[in-house]
Amino acid sequence: MTQRCYALSLVGTAAPGCAPRRSPAIAFAVLAIILSLSCSRQTANSPNLKPTAFGAAIVESSGGKQTAQTGSLLPQPVVVQVNDEQGTAVAGAPVEFSPAPGVVFDPPGGFSDSSGQVTTNVSLGGMAGRYQIVAFTTNKSHTKVGVKIEEIALGYQQTLGRHLNDQYCERCHNPESTVERVSNYDNLEVKPHPFSEGDTLNKMSDADLTAIISHGGPALNRSALMPAWGNTLSKSDVQALISYIRAVSDPPFRSAGPVYAKD
């Protein structure tokens, strides 16, 4: 069916070169659009399964507060779980993800599996900032209950900042150790602030952060264990780092900034 639609729109694309035949071409194009609309409607109307159970609440299992580049897939899927009043997982309950602008879910919803969970891969929208996505389930009285999950999209500057963070900052500022990267956090007498620590870092102005990154901790009467990076990083590097720090801070920097949420 779609292939036929395609053949028709092909005729349309071939036509604009020859002006006299333009109107049939437009007619064809319109026809093709109508046909393709009807095609897509057909594919959308896939046999809809009915939910076998209803839960009382929906909670986030994993996948919140991830960072990814604008438009790209989150590294881990988002997993939500449907529970009943007692907090036990409910299988077969309907779950639906509500799209924030530009956000794509694969799949866009489904029924909870035997452990009450629904997993979806999330691609963020094209603008940097925080995205609030909502996962809904329907409870027994047919009202929707939802859980809000926040994800962070990094633009070009923040992506560059993340790269610099991985190279220079993370070993001390991230307390989590992995097999590949052992954290130095616990070895330091004065603990560095993890970049997600918005309570502290949001109070510091961009100028403060620039000063402490470029001239080291002593520039703001803080620990000398924070070295000066001003001769290693360029000014734009420092700006990129700050934009990354602002992007990942929790609570969000400056009253959320642009938030792309549906409600």
Partner 1 sequence: MKEKLTSLWQKLFGDSVRAFGVVSLVFLGSLAIAPAKNFFSEWRHYQHGYLKMIRNRSDANTLERHFQDGIQQIWLPELGVVDRCTSCHVGLKEASLTDVSTQPFRTHPPIPHKLDQFGCTVCHRGQGAATTVSEAHSSTLAWEQPILPAKYIESSCGECHRGPLPGTPQLNQGRNLLSREGCVHCHTVKLSDGTTMKATDDPPSLSHIGDKTTREWVYAWLKDPQAYSATSTMPNFQLSDDAARDISAFLIANSTPVAGDTAALSAKASADPPAGASLYGESFCASCHAVQNAAGNMVGGDVGPELTRVGSKVKTEWLQAWLKNPRTYDPGTAMPHYRLSDPQVATLSGFLLGKTDSDLLAKVHLDAAAPEQITHGKRLVSDYGCASCHEIAGIKKPENFAPELSRIGSKPVTQLVFLPGSQHTLPDYIATKIKQPRSFGQGLKMPQYTFTPAQIDSLTTALLSLNDRSNTLPSSLAVAATRESDYQPAGKAGKLMTDLACFSCHRINGHGGDMAPDLTWEGSSVQRPWLVDFLKNPGTLRPSLIRRMPRFNFTDGEVNELTDYMMTVYQNPAVDRESMPLSGYSQGEIDLGKQLFYGKYACQGCHIVDTKTDKGYIGPTLTHVGSRLTAAWIYQWLKNPQTLRPGTGEPNRAMSDEDARALTAFLISQKGGAKQEVAKK
- Is residue 16 close enough to count as binding partner 1 by CB under 8 A? yes
Amino acid identity, position 64: G
Closest distance between partner 1 and the C-beta of residue 93, in Å?
A: 26
Q: Which of 37, 156, 191, 200 binds partner 1 (CB under 8 A)?
A: 156
How many Å from the N-terminal Cα to the C-terminal Cα in the chain? Answer: 37
- Is residue 171 close enough to count as binding partner 1 by CB under 8 A? yes
Closest distance between partner 1 and the C-beta of residue 31, in Å?
A: 14
Residue 221 makes CB contacts below 8 A (sequence gap 6+) with none
Amino acid identity, position 34: I
Contact 70, 154 (CB under 8 A): yes
Using the minimum distance from each CB to partner 1, give the nearer residue, 148 or 181. 181
Phi, psi (deg, nearest 5) at residue 235: -60, -40
Tokens standing for residue 154: 């990094």
Helices (H), 148-193: 156-164, 170-173
Using the minimum distance from each CB to partner 1, give the nearer residue, 91 or 261. 261
Q: Which stretch binds partner 1 (CB under 8 A): 50-58, 82-90, 112-120, 229-237?
A: 229-237
Closest distance between partner 1 and the C-beta of residue 125, in Å?
A: 7
Q: Which of 69, 132, 196, 202 binds partner 1 (CB under 8 A)?
A: 69
Amino acid identity, position 124: L
Contact 174, 180 (CB under 8 A): no
Give the C-alpha separation, 101 to 262, whole Å. Answer: 8
- Is residue 236 close enough to count as binding partner 1 by CB under 8 A? yes
Residues forming the site for partner 1 (CB under 8 A): 1-3, 6, 9-10, 12-16, 25, 29, 43, 69-73, 75, 102, 106, 121, 123, 125-129, 155-157, 159-160, 163-164, 167-168, 171-172, 179-182, 184, 187-188, 223-225, 227-232, 236, 239, 243, 257-258, 260
